[in-house]
Amino acid sequence: MLTYYSDDHHLHHGSCELMDGQLVPCFEKPQRAEHVLARVKERQLGAIHGPSDFGRAPLLRIHSAAYLDFFEGAWARWQAEQGQGDLLPYTWPARTLSERLPSSLHGQLGYYSFDAGAPITAGTWQAAYSAAQVALSAQAAIAGGAHSAFALCRPPGHHAAGELMGGYCYLNNAAIAAQAFLDQGRTKVAILDVDYHHGNGTQSIFYARNDVLFTSIHGDPVAEFPFFLGYADELGEGSGAGYNLNLPLAAGSGWDVWGAALETACQRIAAYGAEVIVVSLGVDTFKNDPISQFKLDSPDYLRMGQRIAALGLPTLFVMEGGYAVAEIGINAVNVLEGFQNA
């Protein structure tokens, strides 16, 4: 299996995040990608390539120009204001407030964020931009005839919407790749999100469309982040009615429950007649993940890859979450090996 990776991910390293009333070191850190890359090499999964640069045009198919301009320029504005530390929002246009775009940096940061989980540092734009190019390069390999490819993206992307960052995510790598398939002639793309947390950004991007089927298996948002999206009754709207499948599961779910949900998702993808699959590959479903509540074990990820392979479709894996750093490489690569060996 081809792997695409950029060392630019090291440019993004937030200093802290807010959890349970305390500032703690960020769970989303460079070691995550390092461990996955080391495991890819150890298992001799296949060739590793750097990304090509496809520019901003494919990003603009998913994200607005205003959002990209803000994100790219935010750090320079923060430095011009003599800002100290990471740039984080502290005010959002919540229900009783207007959604006007302010002129101030902090007002705009709140406007373009949905939480305080996406710190902007000196290298965040470049890291996120390169992650999107990694996804596009892996997508191009499949468009060129490869049966599968792995985009080792960092930072992750599935929480990012068209004009919103949050949940460690800035640019929606999976959505950008899915749109590229459509722009190059595919007519039916399926996205399978297996991250513990619902891919709210991906859902919102494609919610009113029928050319992308979005399926997600995740912690029940009644108790889990992102709380405000990911419920089973969210089925799509307009032309997208019936093209959104959420499979929320209770905390403590193991492979017996999770695997059954995967079967449901795969059957729906097959019935849709998908031509290609984009897998948002989060492995924070692992039993020892520090911020998640499922109970999958490392061998379960081999079975996950095998079931996805049984669909018989070209498949792009895009790295998302997974915060048990010592095991992230084993679990992510187990999915890829299970797929490849099937």
Q: Which residue(s) pair with 212 in the sheet?
A: 189
- Active-site residue, selected from the candidate residues 13, 159, 198, 218: 159
Q: Which residue(s) pair with 248 in the sheet?
A: 218
Instruction: Report the candidate in 314, 11, 8, 262 with the shortest Cα–Cα distance to residue 150.
Output: 314
Q: Element (H or E) spanning 212, and its range?
A: strand 212-219
Q: Which two tokens stand for residue 95?
A: 């229900």
Determine whether 198 is an active site residue.
Answer: no
Torsion of Cα atoms, 136 then 209 then 278 then 309, to 10°: -150
Residue tagged 């999770």 (tokens): 258
Torsion of Cα atoms, 52 then 58 then 62 then 68, to 10°: 80
DSSP state letter for 165: B
What does DSSP say about strands 244-249 and 48-49: parallel, antiparallel, or unpaired?
unpaired
Instruction: Report the candidate in 134, 112, 99, 59 with the shortest Cα–Cα distance to residue 120.
Output: 112
> Between vectors from CA 135 to CA 134 and to CA 136, what angle results, nearest 5°?
90
- Kindly list the catalytic residues: 159
